[in-house]
Amino acid sequence: MTGGALAELHDRARELLDPVHYDYFAGGAGEETALAENERAFQRLALLPRVLRGQSRPATPVQLPGARASTPILVAPTAFHRLAHPDGELATARAAAAAGTVLVSGMAATVAIGEVAGAAREVDRNAAVWFQLYLQPDAKITECLVRRAEDAGCSALVVTVDSPVFGRHGRDHRHGFHDLPPGFAAENMRDLPGSPGVRDIEMCQEISWRYVEALRRMTGLPVLLKGILHPEDAKIAVDGGMAGLVVSNHGGRQLDVAPAAIDALPRVAEAVGGRIPVLVDGGIRRGSDVAIALALGATAVGVGRPVLWGLAAAGEAGVRQVLETLRDEYEHVRTLCGGVLAGDQVVSRC
Ligand SMILES: Cc1cc2nc3c(=O)[nH]c(=O)nc-3n(C[C@H](O)[C@H](O)[C@H](O)COP(=O)(O)O)c2cc1C
Ligand SMILES: CC(C)CC(=O)C(=O)O
């Protein structure tokens, strides 16, 4: 993480975390080019403010599939929160609910989705939690996970489609970090059909649009696809009835030669043409990054690592600090831009 008001939280998290776990959270695939580009791409962009517009409107809520968020800053799905803090995903859920935003809870969470959603609703009974899903080769397993998300009251499913195989993370490889330590588990994978104990999450190269269609038949929940970078895939997704897209290179953890997410956003947004919400994640570290993303056509953004740093540094309060800081900075930038954020305001710095 570079600069910004959240840098101190990152430094604190780094001090507190086991270095192996820090590297799991911080690292990316390959030479970490996509990871670095996600942040660098924002540094290459600037916003032309509009002036004299007499706008004093407070930010309006954001309408999303199965959720109305009070801010366009969502919590992106990340795995294994209990490695960051003993309260794990429960703390993240409480903080997201307190901030009036959506938590996208990972299938690889260290707390089961029912408990995560319950923790969010204890803070705000209308809190929205989405469930992130890796489609499994065995449809019975996928279906069981979907029912767990439905039973937990999740209001949308976010299917991650950028992972036909696991990313190759050099830092984890060097540390020999391949499994969770004893006492931690991917709790959503416990007691699934035919698997006593905790089943491994499988990545599968055979996953195709047919699997997505089968998922849509399996559930009434809105389905978003996460990990879209190509505009043609965006069009197929819209035609296939998806409720939303997340433009993402998985925080630079999958295809290292992928472009920065923010650089891929404009073409995807154009292909979608406003028919469904387009979210983006990757490299959001400041309120100005949120503003640039919205100007380039995003409905909302997701935040991954900064949330993990807040969690590691100070549990629920740390995550709240991250979300509140980003929101405050974003609203300030938006006001300085005359209350509007449009594509013609985004210019290149070089
Ligand atoms: C430690 C870590 C674990 C992640 N786990 C998942 C996951 O289980 N499912 C998923 O769809 N994305 C996962 N992601 C990707 C995030 O959802 C998101 O795309 C990315 O973190 C955004 O980039 P940022 O960290 O720069 O904000 C993970 C990212 C990190 C850093
Ligand atoms: C358990 C993993 C598949 C989580 C993930 O997506 C990641 O670490 O990037």
Q: What is the mean pLDDT of residues 133-143?
A: 97
Domains and CATH numbers, the chain: 7-348 (3.20.20.70)
Q: For residue 1, what pLDDT is reported? A: 59
Report the nearest-CA residue for atom 28 of ligand 1: 78
Q: How far is the centre of ligand 2, averaged over its atoms, from the C-alpha of 79 (Å)? A: 6
Asked if residue 251 has its Cβ within 6 Å of ligand 1, the reply is yes
Per-residue pLDDT at 78: 99
pLDDT per residue over 220-261, tens digit each?
999 999 999 999 999 999 999 999 999 999 999 999 999 999
Long-range contacts from 13-20, C-beta under 8 angstroms, 24+ separation = 13/84, 13/308, 13/309, 13/310, 13/311, 13/312, 13/313, 13/318, 14/309, 16/312, 16/313, 17/83, 17/84, 17/312, 18/83, 19/175, 20/175, 20/177
CA of residue 18 to ligand 1 center, whole Å: 19
What count of Cα atoms within 13 Å lies in the side-chain half-sphere of residue 44? Answer: 12
What pLDDT is recorded for position 58?
Answer: 72
Q: What is the pLDDT of residues 80-101, one digit of tens each?
A: 999 999 999 999 999 999 999 9
Residue 31 confidence class, pLDDT cut points 50, 70, 90: very high
Six-digit token string for 291: 């503003």
- Which atom of ligand 2 is nearest the CA belonging to 24? 8
Q: Would you state the pLDDT for residue 36? A: 98
**Above pLDDT 90, what percent of the chain?**
95
Percent of the chain at pLDDT > 70 equals 99
Model confidence over 281-317: pLDDT tens digits? 999 999 999 999 999 999 999 999 999 999 999 999 9
Q: Is 250 a catalytic residue?
A: yes
Place of tokens 């998300």: 149
Find the residues whose C-beta lies inside 6 A of ligand 2: 79, 108, 201, 250, 253
Q: Looking at ligand 1, which residue's alpha carbon is closest to its atom 4?
A: 78
- Atom in ligand 2 nearest the alpha carbon of residue 79: 4
Q: Measured over all CA atoms, what is the biggest interatomic distance in the chain, rounded to whole angstroms?
A: 65
Cα of 59 vs centre of ligand 2, distance in Å, is 33
Measured by CA distance, the residue closest to atom 3 of ligand 1 is 78
- Taking each helix axis from N to C terminus, what angle separates 261-272 and 33-43, rounded to the nearest 10 degrees? 70
How confident is the model over 152-179, as pLDDT tens digits?
999 999 999 999 999 999 999 999 999 9
Mean pLDDT of the chain: 97
